[in-house]
């Protein structure tokens, strides 16, 4: 890094640390914010006003949902190039974070494995001497929020103005799949806004994520899997419930166990879709043979790859199929009482090659066969379903702009599209925008990726500098 970059890195690290110190933990439910949550989100909003005076002066601000912020920096037909020349642009990052132990509440953060207090916003070198910001939200998603606002603040200070409107959507309950992004999208739709380009969290510049790839991979999510939550309910003859001393021959709990076991042994079919083929094509030139040859021919080898890839580990398996996992189990509430009814909540992530209805039908078939017709009855109820999103374009100016900005900020990274496995606020925006790219322009090692929603979340200060560069390039060319 140049001396200038070192100074900038230090400054950005200190500013991110200030954002981390405001504990904007996602509100526990979808109701109105309690006084303490309202105060904390108000504090973050005030801090953003202090750190980004030009953005706040230039933008019209709407509060969306409970504490989400939707800022519109009006287009002025500026000819600075960049993404807004294509039409309105929406940049998204969420203010809220998942919980972590609070030192000032007497919670044992060290005992839970944190090296620094999660909300203290510590800036210190890591083991390799790299200046690092430690704390909850540094990667998810305050780091991205910071670099977005820094870039716009800098550009406005240099006299840059967007061509079409630039929207900044700062959600406040992403981690609960809460209503603020939904409200923002409704507002955009009501105003007739058709975003030409949307960027939200998702992929990142990752190392060690792809076998054989030595260079970092900038994984840009161009689609998102769907989410289906089902409840499997097994009900028996109520006369057979009761005292555990006289169990029936066919109990509801063993039947539910058979159903869950069958689901694990009968996964959804694997399909190598177009996004995966495009990802392999992007990576192929940068991995050694024979993997290079295999990946370069992925389009013609879809069927054998669909059989092979699920064997390579959970993350790769999740890329090529709908996943199913049981989460909440319910049965009897007492040690000596036999349940008349047992249930399991099943969480599915629906592959882009499938649909929510397909995924549900698969579970119904497998479960009915496992429980059989004699004995307890089984039913499957859909609690919640959202379809996978369509894939954003890879063959036009919008992808070229995003991948060009990545290469500008991270010259050594291989840019590759992928399907995002988790759900994000971006899926709501995908309803009104055909080009949504899910990418946080931050470097993440394997350890850093697992610190998201885990312990010791941290980001390198140098990566914040590169992140600002990404957004500047995207907006101003």
DSSP letters for 213-256? --S-EEEEEEEE-EEEEEEEEEE--GGG-EETTS--SS-HHHHH
| Helical pair 461-476 and 397-409, crossing angle rounded to 10 deg | 150
Instruction: Considering the complex, state which of residue 169 and residue 283 has its C-beta at the smaller distance from Zn ion.
Output: 169
**Which of the 8 DSSP states describes residue 27?**
P
**Which of the 8 DSSP states describes residue 175?**
G
Instruction: Please report how close the Cβ of residue 177 comes to Zn ion at its closest, in angstroms.
Output: 11
Instruction: Considering the complex, state which of residue 141 and residue 177 has its C-beta at the smaller distance from Zn ion.
Output: 141
Instruction: Please report how close the Cβ of residue 141 comes to Zn ion at its closest, in angstroms.
Output: 4
Assess 224 for contact with Zn ion (CB under 5 A).
no
Instruction: Considering the complex, state which of residue 37 and residue 201 has its C-beta at the smaller distance from Zn ion.
Output: 201
Number of C-beta neighbours around residue 88 at 10 A: 23
How open is the CA angle 130-454-418, to the nearest 5 degrees? 80
Instruction: Considering the complex, state which of residue 172 and residue 272 has its C-beta at the smaller distance from Zn ion.
Output: 172
- Judge whether 283 and 271 are in contact, CB under 8 Å: no
Instruction: Please report how close the Cβ of residue 174 comes to Zn ion at its closest, in angstroms.
Output: 5
Site string for Zn ion, 198-217 (x = CB under 5 A): ---x----------------
**What is the number of alpha carbons within 13 Å of residue 245 lying toward its C-beta?**
0
Cα–Cα distance, 431 to 433 (Å, whole number)? 6
Q: Which stretch binds Zn ion (CB under 5 A): 56-64, 146-154, 194-202, 251-259?
A: 194-202
DSSP alpha helix (H) spans, 21-121: 35-51, 53-58
Instruction: Please report how close the Cβ of residue 140 comes to Zn ion at its closest, in angstroms.
Output: 4
Report the side by side order of strands in the sheet with 226-235: 323-330, 341-350, 226-235, 377-386
Instruction: Please report how close the Cβ of residue 453 comes to Zn ion at its closest, in angstroms.
Output: 9
Q: List the interface residues with Zn ion, window 135-164 (CB under 5 A).
A: 140-141
**Which of the 8 DSSP states describes residue 84?**
G
**Which of these, 460, 385, 458, lies nearest to 115 by C-alpha position?**
458
How many chain residues bind Zn ion (CB under 5 A)? 3
Instruction: Considering the complex, state which of residue 150 and residue 201 has its C-beta at the smaller distance from Zn ion.
Output: 201
Instruction: Please report how close the Cβ of residue 142 comes to Zn ion at its closest, in angstroms.
Output: 10
Q: Which stretch binds Zn ion (CB under 5 A): 7-15, 133-141, 187-195, 226-234?
A: 133-141
Q: List the interface residues with Zn ion, window 58-87 (CB under 5 A).
A: none
Instruction: Considering the complex, state which of residue 140 and residue 457 has its C-beta at the smaller distance from Zn ion.
Output: 140
Instruction: Considering the complex, state which of residue 202 and residue 376 has its C-beta at the smaller distance from Zn ion.
Output: 202
Instruction: Considering the complex, state which of residue 201 and residue 273 has its C-beta at the smaller distance from Zn ion.
Output: 201
Instruction: Please report how close the Cβ of residue 220 comes to Zn ion at its closest, in angstroms.
Output: 16
- Judge whether 424 and 207 are in contact, CB under 8 Å: no
Instruction: Considering the complex, state which of residue 140 and residue 273 has its C-beta at the smaller distance from Zn ion.
Output: 140
Instruction: Please report how close the Cβ of residue 310 comes to Zn ion at its closest, in angstroms.
Output: 27
Give CB contacts under 8 A, 24+ apart, made by 306-314: 306/269, 306/270, 306/271, 306/272, 307/270, 309/270, 309/272, 310/267, 310/270, 312/211
Instruction: Please report how close the Cβ of residue 9 comes to Zn ion at its closest, in angstroms.
Output: 23
Name the β-bridge partners of 419. 223
What does the binding site for Zn ion look like in residue numbers (CB under 5 A)? 140-141, 201
């Amino acid at each position: 890094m140049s001396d200038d970059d070192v100074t900038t890195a230090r400054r950005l690290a200190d500013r991110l640390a200030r954002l981390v110190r405001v504990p904007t933990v996602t509100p526990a439910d979808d109701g109105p914010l309690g006084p303490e949550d309202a105060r904390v989100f108000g504090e973050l909003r005030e801090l953003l006003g202090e750190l980004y005076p030009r953005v706040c002066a230039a933008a019209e601000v709407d509060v969306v949902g409970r504490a989400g912020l939707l800022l519109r920096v009006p287009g002025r037909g500026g000819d600075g190039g960049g993404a807004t020349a294509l039409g309105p642009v929406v940049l998204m990052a969420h203010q809220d974070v998942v919980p972590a132990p609070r030192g000032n509440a007497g919670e044992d953060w060290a005992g839970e494995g944190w090296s620094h207090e999660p909300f203290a916003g510590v800036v210190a070198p890591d083991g390799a001497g790299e200046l690092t910001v430690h704390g909850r939200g540094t990667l998810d998603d305050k780091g991205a929020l910071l670099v977005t606002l820094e870039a716009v603040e800098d550009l406005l200070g240099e006299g840059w103005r967007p061509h079409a409107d630039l929207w900044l959507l700062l959600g406040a309950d992403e981690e609960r799949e809460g209503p603020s992004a939904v409200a923002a999208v409704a507002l955009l739709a009501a105003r007739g806004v058709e975003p030409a380009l949307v960027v939200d969290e998702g992929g990142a510049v990752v190392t060690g994520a792809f076998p054989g790839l030595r260079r970092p991979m900038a994984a840009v999510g161009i689609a998102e899997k769907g989410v289906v939550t089902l409840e499997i309910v097994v009900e028996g003859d109520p006369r057979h419930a009761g005292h555990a001393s006289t169990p029936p021959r066919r109990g509801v709990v063993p039947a539910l166990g058979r159903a869950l076991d069958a689901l694990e042994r009968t996964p959804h079919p694997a399909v190598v879709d177009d996004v995966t083929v495009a990802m392999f094509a992007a990576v192929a030139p940068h991995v050694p043979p024979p993997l290079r040859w295999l990946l370069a021919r992925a389009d013609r080898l879809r069927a054998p790859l669909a059989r092979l890839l699920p064997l390579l580990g959970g993350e790769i398996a999740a890329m090529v199929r709908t996943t199913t996992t049981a989460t909440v189990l319910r049965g009897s509430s007492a040690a000596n009482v036999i349940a008349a009814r047992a249930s399991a909540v099943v969480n599915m992530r629906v592959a882009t090659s499938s649909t929510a209805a397909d995924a549900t039908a698969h579970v119904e078939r497998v479960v009915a066969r496992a429980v059989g017709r004699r004995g307890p009855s089984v039913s499957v109820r859909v609690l919640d379903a959202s379809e996978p999103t369509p894939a954003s374009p890879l063959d036009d100016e919008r992808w070229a702009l995003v991948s060009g900005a990545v290469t500008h900020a991270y010259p050594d990274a291989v840019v590759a599209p992928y399907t995002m496995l988790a759900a994000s606020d971006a899926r709501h925006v995908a309803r009104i925008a055909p080009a949504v790219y899910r990418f946080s322009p931050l470097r993440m090692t394997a350890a850093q990726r697992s610190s998201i929603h885990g312990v010791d979340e941290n980001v390198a200060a140098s990566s914040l500098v590169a992140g600002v560069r990404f957004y500047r390039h995207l907006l101003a060319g």
